Structure 1
Amino acid sequence: MNAAVHVPRPSRTPSAPGPVPPPSVGGRRGRGARRRDRRRAPTGVRRLGAAVLALALCGALSPVAPGAAVADGSDATPLTRPDVTPGRVVTSGALTPPTDLVDAVALASTDAPGHDSALALRADGTVVGWGDDGHGQTSVPDGLTGVVAVDTAGGSSLAVRSDGGVVAWGDPGSGVTAVPDDLGPVTAVAVGGRLTDDTACSVAYAVRADTTVVRWGGAASATCPGLGDEYDVPEGLAGIRAVSAGDTVVLALRDDGTVVRWGPGLAAADGVDPATWQDMTSVSAKGEHAVGVDASGRLVGWGVWGEAGAPTLEGVRAASAGRQVAALRDDGSVACLPGCATPPGAPRFQAVSGGSDQVLAVLAPRSDLPPAPSAGPGPVQLLPGYVGPDYAMNPPAGLRDAVELDATSFAAGGNTAMAVRSDGTVVGWGSRYPVRLQPPAGLSDVVDVGVGAGFALALRADGSLVPWGSGGVTTLPPDLGPVVAVDAGGTQKAVRDPDGGPPTVTTCGVALALRADGTVRTWGSTGATCRALTEAMAAPADLTDVVSVSIGDEYAVVARADGSVVGWGPSWRSYSTGLALERWDSVTSVSTDRARIIGVRADGTVRLWGVTGEVPVGPLDAPVVAASAAQTSGFLLGPYGRLVLSGGPTGEQQGRYTAVAGGDNYTLAIAVGGSAAAPAVPPLGATTVTTRRIGMAAGVATAFRYPANRADPVWRARVFVDRSTTARGLRVGIYADDDGRPGALLSTASTDSVVPGAWNTVLLDRGVTVQAAGSYWLVALAPYAGADDGSTAAPRLVLRGADGAPPGTPSLVSADRTLTGLPGAAPTDPDDPGADPATTWREGRTPDSGPASFFAST
């Protein structure tokens, strides 16, 4: 890390920062976490093409801090970036990426058992490193920006910037950090070598703009015996577009698709010699292994593979060598060869890197996300796992049409919850639900509700507020004006008895309103005991451009249009200890409680602060669209309505939800669907419910054919489940029709919380646009859970029949009676109709066994 520094001339002027996407209003304390806008995930992953390492970025090139060597590439034509959507990095091994690494566009990792390390190029042109840093190879130089490609091996790392300049850092012994002064602009780099407990040896290569290749490094040092002439670039080599280096082999990919190999090689290498490879689109060398992908999508390999032999695979678009070869296939899945574990996640990856005992991959953000569930109407549920002794928090019977939810999570309000119903009225409940908190008679047209310390507020559709309860907080400010969001908080104050008696406890409520002009107002109880708190909770006078508000007991926090977060109040300083607000950028909504703060950012990632400081948020499979904080936990709501809990019994709750609120020992959520009436004519399926029962054993899929009623996109499926059902799990799918049989599987959905005697609603994994002239199959399955001897599992799924069965259209059942999932594979490419189901279908027991009360809708 002691090489000289050569700072290049900036080739472009800094770009102005882009505007922050218009944030949504919502995400307040204890409020239902729900979707406030219709942000969709970025456009889906497109084919990566040739393995050119040019990833141009917008923005100026800033000087690099001392400790790195820089080759000047200024005045070069800026490199262009491929169409790669930033995504989260996942791994199959122990090389765990940073939890906030959700915007990677390229990866590089080593093949060094016991010394594994990795680099990721982020969408903003910066680089992050993790893993072994014994030689500084993952200590990315401060100020390094404008990067378009990275590589690492042998204790050294390289980066290419968008002007073609090269930056090197890591172990100086081999000379890789001594970047040649006359290197000039380059289009690709590679670093190879070996790193063990005793050896740190690296060598670097660069493809220059004139398509020639330059080598440097590999010098003898205390830990490097020196890499000899066999590592030199072959004389006269030109016409090169990519280079990759391992420990014993270097590969250069020519423009004509042929490959040049040099290095000491291997005495007994399995597979096809790279020197004979033809029509290649990418090559990769790492350690003692080499792989390549040809234009037909075939993977070829060469190196020490052990008994498994060289890898062979079709349908590949990119690959990375190593003891664990990572192959990215056309369907977005990752193959890990030979026989190793693949990274977790659905088959929608877009970049990979192999290694010694792990595979790294960049998950592609989904392009087929359904809209977030609409805010009800749906039933309110008391979620399992957070239920304390206060079972009175069970929602009132018949509350199945809630659209908004709030609950207290501080002692001052007791255990109290309120819900807004679809007709605009309000209902409340709880173990300490006081008479004074019962909504006023005739209250209607409500769109939101807040429960505070001894009081409640209702926001009406016209922007007016209706308060009730006790304390001066129920007197609204005279100049409040139209309100777009509101929250309620407060606490209790104990006043000592001078005569030694029990203290007097006074409830002090505080309200926070976001006005239509982006300013906020606070007001509260006016008694002598509460006056100091009310005054201290006054919003900063210069606070403007607010888009989201939330209030706790003695502090408030808001998000502004520029993505920044502002907090104030008597306890803000102590509660925000460890809260690095400078990292809370691009926040569109906030939610807070006495013990935690959650901020949802524009890209769907979250910031979470708890009582002990910032809390790492584990990888999420999809962007978060809303969040809600409570004293015992944080709640993150994804675009499928999935609810992820952070704190307490963590993990994803079964079911799909539109809103969530919680307190000290309970969690409430509004579930998707509920008992709303089925539409008279859905796009696909039947909505009538007859007394006819259609029984099916677990493990047997049953398919019902329906003509489409109209052309429409569908995002959810609903099926009426009979009361006699004993199965708890339900899998449903939409299949195309293939000459009177289920054909391609178009979309799937599932639940493990079947409700007998009711319509069950499940959200599809991807939307399907049905065509008015087409026919489709709706398939239902209770997963098999029987014995290993092939006997039928005991649980049964029983559906109800529908009226109007078309003649000659009986249901079909799967010949396989031990299915744990729906047959067939849903496609990941919107242009791909999907795979044919891998099963045989036969007619049901009776010709009139179809159709079922089963439909798909928007």
Structure 2
Amino acid sequence: MLALALCGALSPVAPGAAVADGSDATPLTRPDVTPGRVVTSGALTPPTDLVDAVALASTDAPGHDSALALRADGTVVGWGDDGHGQTSVPDGLTGVVAVDTAGGSSLAVRSDGGVVAWGDPGSGVTAVPDDLGPVTAVAVGGRLTDDTACSVAYAVRADTTVVRWGGAASATCPGLGDEYDVPEGLAGIRAVSAGDTVVLALRDDGTVVRWGPGLAAADGVDPATWQDMTSVSAKGEHAVGVDASGRLVGWGVWGEAGAPTLEGVRAASAGRQVAALRDDGSVACLPGCATPPGAPRFQAVSGGSDQVLAVLAPRSDLPPAPSAGPGPVQLLPGYVGPDYAMNPPAGLRDAVELDATSFAAGGNTAMAVRSDGTVVGWGSRYPVRLQPPAGLSDVVDVGVGAGFALALRADGSLVPWGSGSVTTLPPDLGPVVAVDAGGTQKAVRDPDGGPPTVTTCGVALALRADGTVRTWGSTGATCRALTEAMAAPADLTDVVSVSIGDEYAVVARADGSVVGWGPSWRSYSTGLALERWESVTSVSTDRARIIGVRADGTVRLWGVTGEVPVGPLDAPVVAASAAQTSGFLLGPYGRLVLSGGPTGEQQGRYTAVAGGDNYTLAIAVGGSAAAPAVPPLGATTVTTRRIGMAAGVATAFRYPANRADPVWRARVFVDRSTTARGLRVGIYADDDGRPGALLSTASTDSVVPGAWNTVLLDRGVTVQAAGSYWLVALAPYAGADDGSTAAPRLVLRGADGAPPGTPSLVSADRTLTGLPGAAPTDPDDPGADPATTWREGRTPDSGPASFFALT
């Protein structure tokens, strides 16, 4: 395995993991790989929050497959079979630049050349030699079955020699003997890879050395004869390599299919299913197996027994988020809400900034800054004292907290209002560039047994122009302790983003680090590994959620129960807002995702978002988040006419383009009678009145019946005003119905104004799991013939559907 890049500071590793020190080595680096989410073609499903992987390693062990992913921050995550502890990554392992796993054991190389091992101790791989010294690459080989766990390890030292350890006999391993020993005098090695019965070492001159028991009946060309190779991979009983011309060659037990060969490859990973990463960013699975979902923008791959794993690069073809407002404020569904008392005032259609608070601060309250610099407020318990002062103008930001509010004016001054001493600004505050408001209510017990007295305690947080932070708050007897505990650390400087909860604050600094403090910080942040929150550019918090947006557009989301999965996200996040029950992520072109709640992606385009208990408010783009009256392609009207289709049958609807425009999303109205959970959507060119070339696809496995469902296309398509296109919907086939339950069914709604002569078409194949014509394995295959792929539906007048594509 080749060395990868330094991605994080080194730290002590938890007890139980074997470590070889390499502190005298030159730091190792990895190729410049953009972090991305991991996708799979099989059942080895990666964690949903794994959106920042840069490298992969997986096993070829049917029934016992596992995988490791190296994250951009230098940490490692494992999943799959953990029967020998091979995916239980040691606590505190950071600064990793390369990983490998096989036979129940795992290895990691750190940026200082040190090696960390974990997993099955029986074969001896976890007993890393003390004299190993700094290394540049590692490999683990071996076999893992129901009865056997055998592993052997190899490392390439800094002097280009190779060291072996492990393979000892144990209760689960008969022992891996001399045939696995490194050939005497072997040097000039830059990479090594190990399978079950074969080990490959890649020399600096591009030749390959092979050793191990070998294969009795191998197909393909012996690796010992390979020339001018740039990479090699061995796994199980298979070996592949890629030469300088981009040609993939294979050797191993392949059966009737024979050893794989392919041109235009930049990297490959061996296994029963070989993963080949092509020059165009697509993935080929050989011989003839399924590939992971996604457009051709993959960056790293790993083959296996019955799946291929790949790192999917973030979208680069999406437009940026729209500039802030002005736009209307809209009430969106919350976790269990919404709180309809939070509906914004009628006529509020020119907001540019939002802030909101929740019940712990005395009631759901929101405020918006309008494009003319004035402020408007509302809420379910909106008190008169929170009405903005008369004449308040030139406001650029607003914060609403417990019983008070703060407005930041364009000249850097603050205007407070509300109740309590928190509205008295501290002296010498100086110019301010950002504000936030928080606090809570405290109940004081009546010594005579009467009802408790409730006191509202406000706390304010200001980021000053010099990068320092100032806090102040209510000074009454009940609130004084909270205000004092909320004082910012004296040495806190270079702050770029601030946010405050009820009894704690969190900030991001210019170096990307995150700092938190306050009476409840310890309880809320227990277990929070802030070292994984490096490169954070902005933070947001509200009582029980903390969100950090990093420079690469990935997100960390923390809740009271621990790290909250975020993803999969198809593109970088540009802004975020935290609330008690959800995290709100604003992505490219204004897409809004609610993470931590069941509502998923919202249907409009937005420029700002804020929320509290059971509600979400957002500023929509251009006046409305509703379906556009005339989209670039398709129909937005919804009738009572139902269009039903069984799972496995694709249905196509033809539409003339309404105008020339790029589209990145598709929306389809799904009837409430739908029982299918999965939906695949495609845009096809027109080929003489039938769907032709497949231009773009989208998918979801969380269909919401009785609503518009929005999906993100895997690539943008520019529709031409004079052209016609086909929008296709499919609920994937899930196998024959066993009679115990009704077969899944997708039901759409019809749209008004079906043009004459445009009947819907259905696929001839009634057991489709993917869209017809999607990603043929053979690049020279022209695809399926439209004349035989599609036929008229049973109801030719069923088109069009409530189905459209939009920017």
Greater shift, 329-338 or 301-310, is seen at: 301-310
| Distance (whole Å) between structure 1 residues aligned to residue 745 and residue 306 of structure 2 | 43
Greater shift, 246-255 or 830-839, is seen at: 830-839
Tell whether the 8 Å contact from 2:284 to 2:777 is kept in structure 1 after alignment. no
Q: Judging changes above 3 Å, is the alpha-carbon distance between structure 1 residues 563 and 851 closer, same or farther for their aligned structure 2 residues?
A: same
Q: Judging changes above 3 Å, is the alpha-carbon distance between structure 1 residues 783 and 62 closer, same or farther for their aligned structure 2 residues?
A: closer
Q: Judging changes above 3 Å, is the alpha-carbon distance between structure 1 residues 844 and 451 closer, same or farther for their aligned structure 2 residues?
A: same
Alignment deviations for residues 139-170 of structure 1 (CA, whole Å, 9 cap, x no partner): 77899877654433334455567787877666
Alignment deviations for residues 414-459 of structure 1 (CA, whole Å, 9 cap, x no partner): 2322222333333333333333333334433322222223333222
| Distance (whole Å) between structure 1 residues aligned to residue 692 and residue 257 of structure 2 | 36
* TM-score, normalised with respect to structure 1: 0.68
CA offset at residue 195 of structure 1?
2.8
Between 1 and 2, higher relative CO (CA 8 Å, sep ≥ 6) is seen in 1
Q: Judging changes above 3 Å, is the alpha-carbon distance between structure 1 residues 491 and 654 closer, same or farther for their aligned structure 2 residues?
A: same
Alignment deviations for residues 105-149 of structure 1 (CA, whole Å, 9 cap, x no partner): 333322234544444445566666555566665677899877654
CA offset at residue 472 of structure 1?
3.8
Alignment deviations for residues 217-262 of structure 1 (CA, whole Å, 9 cap, x no partner): 5455554334456546678988866543321234455677676655
| Distance (whole Å) between structure 1 residues aligned to residue 225 and residue 168 of structure 2 | 30
Q: What secondary structure is seen at the aligned counterpart in 2 of 1:848?
A: helix
Alignment length (residue pairs): 807
Q: Judging changes above 3 Å, is the alpha-carbon distance between structure 1 residues 394 and 751 closer, same or farther for their aligned structure 2 residues?
A: farther
Tell whether the 8 Å contact from 2:7 to 2:97 is kept in structure 1 after alignment. no
Q: Judging changes above 3 Å, is the alpha-carbon distance between structure 1 residues 447 and 245 closer, same or farther for their aligned structure 2 residues?
A: same
Tell whether the 8 Å contact from 2:610 to 2:616 is kept in structure 1 after alignment. yes
Greater shift, 531-540 or 410-419, is seen at: 531-540
Tell whether the 8 Å contact from 2:603 to 2:710 is kept in structure 1 after alignment. no
Greater shift, 699-708 or 95-104, is seen at: 699-708
Alignment deviations for residues 625-684 of structure 1 (CA, whole Å, 9 cap, x no partner): 322221222223333433332333263334333222222222222233435999999999
Alignment deviations for residues 312-333 of structure 1 (CA, whole Å, 9 cap, x no partner): 6554332222233323233323
Q: Judging changes above 3 Å, is the alpha-carbon distance between structure 1 residues 258 and 751 closer, same or farther for their aligned structure 2 residues?
A: closer
Q: Judging changes above 3 Å, is the alpha-carbon distance between structure 1 residues 175 and 777 closer, same or farther for their aligned structure 2 residues?
A: closer
Residues 97-176 of structure 1: pairs in structure 2 closer than 5 A: 103-122=52-71, 148-158=97-107, 174=123
Tell whether the 8 Å contact from 2:334 to 2:614 is kept in structure 1 after alignment. no
CA offset at residue 182 of structure 1?
9.4
Greater shift, 87-96 or 633-642, is seen at: 87-96
Tell whether the 8 Å contact from 1:655 to 1:751 is kept in structure 2 after alignment. no
1:452 alignment counterpart? 401
CA offset at residue 355 of structure 1?
2.5
Tell whether the 8 Å contact from 1:546 to 1:560 is kept in structure 2 after alignment. yes
Tell whether the 8 Å contact from 1:473 to 1:525 is kept in structure 2 after alignment. yes
CA offset at residue 334 of structure 1?
3.1
Q: Judging changes above 3 Å, is the alpha-carbon distance between structure 1 residues 183 and 602 closer, same or farther for their aligned structure 2 residues?
A: closer
2:530 counterpart (556, 567, 581): 581
CA offset at residue 730 of structure 1?
14
Q: Judging changes above 3 Å, is the alpha-carbon distance between structure 1 residues 395 and 387 closer, same or farther for their aligned structure 2 residues?
A: farther
Q: Judging changes above 3 Å, is the alpha-carbon distance between structure 1 residues 851 and 663 closer, same or farther for their aligned structure 2 residues?
A: closer
* TM-score, normalised with respect to structure 2: 0.72
Q: Judging changes above 3 Å, is the alpha-carbon distance between structure 1 residues 72 and 366 closer, same or farther for their aligned structure 2 residues?
A: same
Tell whether the 8 Å contact from 1:785 to 1:793 is kept in structure 2 after alignment. no
Q: Judging changes above 3 Å, is the alpha-carbon distance between structure 1 residues 442 and 339 closer, same or farther for their aligned structure 2 residues?
A: farther
1:390 counterpart (307, 330, 339): 339
CA offset at residue 831 of structure 1?
20
Q: What secondary structure is seen at the aligned counterpart in 1 of 2:598?
A: coil
Q: Judging changes above 3 Å, is the alpha-carbon distance between structure 1 residues 540 and 709 closer, same or farther for their aligned structure 2 residues?
A: same
Q: Judging changes above 3 Å, is the alpha-carbon distance between structure 1 residues 294 and 540 closer, same or farther for their aligned structure 2 residues?
A: closer
Alignment deviations for residues 589-623 of structure 1 (CA, whole Å, 9 cap, x no partner): 22222233223334434333323444454554433
Tell whether the 8 Å contact from 2:294 to 2:714 is kept in structure 1 after alignment. no
1:532 alignment counterpart? 481
Greater shift, 239-248 or 410-419, is seen at: 239-248
Q: What secondary structure is seen at the aligned counterpart in 2 of 1:582?
A: helix
RMSD: 7.1
Q: What secondary structure is seen at the aligned counterpart in 1 of 2:787?
A: coil
Q: Judging changes above 3 Å, is the alpha-carbon distance between structure 1 residues 801 and 84 closer, same or farther for their aligned structure 2 residues?
A: same
Q: Judging changes above 3 Å, is the alpha-carbon distance between structure 1 residues 390 and 849 closer, same or farther for their aligned structure 2 residues?
A: closer
1:240 aligned onto 2:189:
yes
| Distance (whole Å) between structure 2 residues aligned to residue 749 and residue 152 of structure 1 | 33
Tell whether the 8 Å contact from 1:674 to 1:761 is kept in structure 2 after alignment. no
Q: What secondary structure is seen at the aligned counterpart in 2 of 1:793?
A: coil
| Distance (whole Å) between structure 2 residues aligned to residue 257 and residue 313 of structure 1 | 19
CA offset at residue 350 of structure 1?
1.3
Q: Judging changes above 3 Å, is the alpha-carbon distance between structure 1 residues 170 and 456 closer, same or farther for their aligned structure 2 residues?
A: closer
Q: Judging changes above 3 Å, is the alpha-carbon distance between structure 1 residues 421 and 788 closer, same or farther for their aligned structure 2 residues?
A: farther
Alignment deviations for residues 709-741 of structure 1 (CA, whole Å, 9 cap, x no partner): 999999999999999999999999999999999
Residues 151-550 of structure 1: pairs in structure 2 closer than 5 A: 151-158=100-107, 174=123, 189-205=138-154, 218=167, 220-228=169-177, 230-231=179-180, 242-252=191-201, 262-269=211-218, 281-293=230-242, 297=246, 299-305=248-254, 311=260, 315-337=264-286, 342-343=291-292, 345-384=294-333, 386=335, 388=337, 390-495=339-444, 502-525=451-474, 530=479, 533-550=482-499
Tell whether the 8 Å contact from 2:437 to 2:460 is kept in structure 1 after alignment. yes
| Distance (whole Å) between structure 1 residues aligned to residue 628 and residue 603 of structure 2 | 26
Q: Judging changes above 3 Å, is the alpha-carbon distance between structure 1 residues 729 and 263 closer, same or farther for their aligned structure 2 residues?
A: closer
Q: Judging changes above 3 Å, is the alpha-carbon distance between structure 1 residues 438 and 728 closer, same or farther for their aligned structure 2 residues?
A: farther
Greater shift, 732-741 or 84-93, is seen at: 732-741
Q: Judging changes above 3 Å, is the alpha-carbon distance between structure 1 residues 843 and 198 closer, same or farther for their aligned structure 2 residues?
A: closer
Tell whether the 8 Å contact from 2:330 to 2:619 is kept in structure 1 after alignment. yes
Q: Judging changes above 3 Å, is the alpha-carbon distance between structure 1 residues 340 and 424 closer, same or farther for their aligned structure 2 residues?
A: farther
Structure 2: segments with no counterpart, 5+ residues: none
CA offset at residue 409 of structure 1?
0.9
Q: What secondary structure is seen at the aligned counterpart in 1 of 2:697?
A: strand
Q: What secondary structure is seen at the aligned counterpart in 1 of 2:522?
A: helix
Q: What secondary structure is seen at the aligned counterpart in 2 of 1:839?
A: helix
Tell whether the 8 Å contact from 1:370 to 1:715 is kept in structure 2 after alignment. no
